Chain A
Amino acid sequence: MENGLFKEIQIKNIRIKILDILLFFLFTVSAVLMRYSLRNVVAGDYKMFFEPWVATLREAGGGIRGLAAEFEYVDYTTPYLFILSCISICPFLNTLLLMKIVSIFFDFVAAFAVMAIVYDRKKSMTYGVIGYGIFLMAPTILTNGAMWAQCDIIFTSFILWSLYFLLKDKPVPAMAFYGVAFAFKLQTLFLAPLYVILWMKGKVKLKHFLFLPLMYFIGIIPSLIAGKSLWELISVYFFQANGAMDIYALSHKFPNIYQLIGTDTFLFEYADAGIWLTLGALMLLLYTFARLEYELDPVMLLRMGMFLTMTVVFFLPHMHERYAILVDVLAIVYVFFDSKGFYVPVITLLCSFAGYTVYLAGTNIVPLFIYTILFLFLMADHGVFLYKRIRRGKEEAHG
């Protein structure tokens, strides 16, 4: 029996054990059942935004024709609106379930990316499948789509594939996937500072950054066909960056700096100041990482990615509960590159899920400023880790 479990099958260059296949099925079935149990939850966002949007798209004819619809307010780009427009005319199931199914599909797309990254690192499919399982079980990943009907996993899954190719030293597909992620969501730019560092370290080329406008343009083609103006389609991100819909709180239940100093006063003053503070902090970090000499290995790349993204969401105003999803997924991947860093995903997910709980359950058992302190501790830990690695590299270089 034991021998049977460890029997290996060779598919091209990949060796898979029977155990891996069993684990894969266990995780997949469990992940589906976990999501199935959350299917009936209707979050406020769905009632307030998604349902009216889908109704508007349906009235305009759905599919590509639906994209011609005029919205009072919408902050999604064409690719996701196109998905919603197709959902609006789908004869099976209800809108909420269909939206959740789309997000769940991308949960698996992302989980496969994690599996591929971990397999490449460990050269073991068992670890790969465990990575796949851990990712699908992560509370924020589980609830984001299956419970909340949000679609953050779509852009996140493309970023994970971008990361996969980055770690394989293949900048063209890496940047192409990053471009696709950008076509879906502005939050992709939270990770942009890392790509600038990658350019400074010679891992990607300047021309590769053209994938961002290119993919965005490809993404808006259906709306152009439907008759929307180019300016209207391009300005979606300007409107989002403006934060016009979010001005009523400096942080939307996200454990960042505003939970320490108050989220409900100086709404305009701190909102502008927060943007400049973020830019300033990024300048200092980018300068440090660009100016110093070191070898950017995968462990550093992941730590840097988390550190830079956390810096952005820590200082930027109007951050929502879900905006650390990029940090969550990087943290899950990270643990397979440095097992001593097991606390990284634990703390990250704890802080991230705190905001989810406040939104979804409406309860706030532990004050959010406690999570902010934890979040800050983790940022400091990333900073110390990177500093030590850079210094160690320097010492080794100088014998």
Chain B
Amino acid sequence: MDKAIREFLVKEIKFKKYSLAPLDILLLIGTAVAGVCLRESVIAYVPMEDAGSVFQQLKLFSMIFDVFLAVLMLDTVTGITGNKIKGFLAYGVMLLLPVLAAGSAMWGMGDQVYVFFALLSITYTLKGKGNIGLCSLGISILLNANGLFLLPVFLGLYLQKEVRAAAFLAPLAGLLGNRLLVTGILPVRLSFIQAEALLKESRGEALLSYHYPNIYQIFGMDKFVTEYSQAAFWFVICLGVMIAVLMALSKKPLTKERLLRLFVLSAMVIPYFAPFMNERSGMIADVAAVLLGFVMLHKFYVPLVQVIISYVAYSAYFRGESVMPMALVAAVSLVLIMDLIREET
């Protein structure tokens, strides 16, 4: 009987063009249930008093996008690797990813929406549809300027004639729209932009980094805020262009793996130097790193370390201070960035 049960669990059953084993179905359902319960455990947390129902609505909305992100990850990993077991595992990992669960159910800032479009942009680009990828990135940037973290790779692709110049109108329009929404010139009140404004208001003093483990955690966050932020703005622009040019100059073939690695690198390196980054600024890097971990299994440590780094930053916000010295966390992040750069040299 034992043998019969074991064979049944791994026996593939065909549904049209898909085939699934009962064990696969068990995993899909099991991780979904665990993901829901995980979120349910922390949903009662109120990130900001007197914020009305903004965060509660956003929590629900973000959680729906958590599922979209997991399904998109399943599809992307299966598509790239041709291995559905990896796809199912990636789906499970996404549902249980602490940064996503806390980002949606605890904090409720709606980041999942722009991250979804950023991941979609990566997926399309990896499939060789960079122009559509740029359109998706435009939507991501419209919702949150953090989408710009991926732009250097698209610039590099443009220099390699992989995407058209006209497609850059999408991120440009996205950025313009985002500025109009954030500054309130456009009379549209998106709740996550409202939530971001509330959060900004509650911060008080302007800092170069709000618990985000980047260069400012090593050299100081509260000195020369105006001077450093202006300098850093231009520094980051130059850095982005440099990534694009070096990418174009490199003689290495532009494989899916390399392209993905560049996306992760860009999503990590830009916020590492950009001013005013907050605890959640690593979310694109987190999700892209999970994808990298499943596509290039030997780089499994990248998502592992990146997600821990990100969650330490979250935790610093939730607790008011970090358990680990943020300078140490920032140093670890730098080592991870250098490891990714090393593979490009």
Contacts and interface: CB of A to CB of B under 8 A. Distances in A.
Interface of A: 199-200, 202, 205-206, 259-262, 265-266, 269-273, 276-277, 279-281, 283-284, 287-288, 290-292, 369, 376, 380, 383-384, 387
B5 A206 contact: yes
A369 B23 contact: no
Nearest to A268: B41
A206 B3 CA distance: 10
Contacts, number: 105
B34 A265 contact: no
B95 interface: yes
A268 to B, nearest CB: 8
A389 to B, nearest CB: 14
Interface size classification for chain B? 35 or more
Interface string B309-326: 001101100110001100
Q: Mostly helix, strand, loop or mixed at chain B's interface?
A: helix
A88 to B, nearest CB: 41
A284 B87 CA distance: 12
Interface string B31-71: 10011011011101100000000000000000000000000
B301 interface: yes
A276 B3 contact: no
B331 to A, nearest CB: 13
Interface string B136-170: 00000000000000000000000000000000000
Nearest to A368: B323
B314 to A, nearest CB: 8
Give the 5 A-B CB pairs with smallest separation, nearest first: A272-B41, A280-B34, A261-B315, A276-B38, A280-B96
Nearest to A288: B89
Give chain A's interface secondary structure class: helix
B318 A369 contact: no
Nearest to B320: A265
Contacts of A284: 27, 31, 89, 92-93, 96
A288 B312 CA distance: 28
A369 B96 contact: no
Given A260-B315, A260-B324, A280-B31, A266 B42 contact: yes
Contacts of A290: 9-10, 23
A383 B85 CA distance: 17
Nearest to B301: A380
B2 interface: yes
Given A262-B315, A276-B34, A290-B9, A281 B96 contact: yes
A260, A288, A292, most chain B CB atoms within 10 A: A260
Given A287-B23, A290-B9, A369-B324, A273 B34 contact: no
Contacts of B315: 260-262
Residue in A272, A279, A284 whose Cβ sees the most chain B Cβ within 10 Å: A284
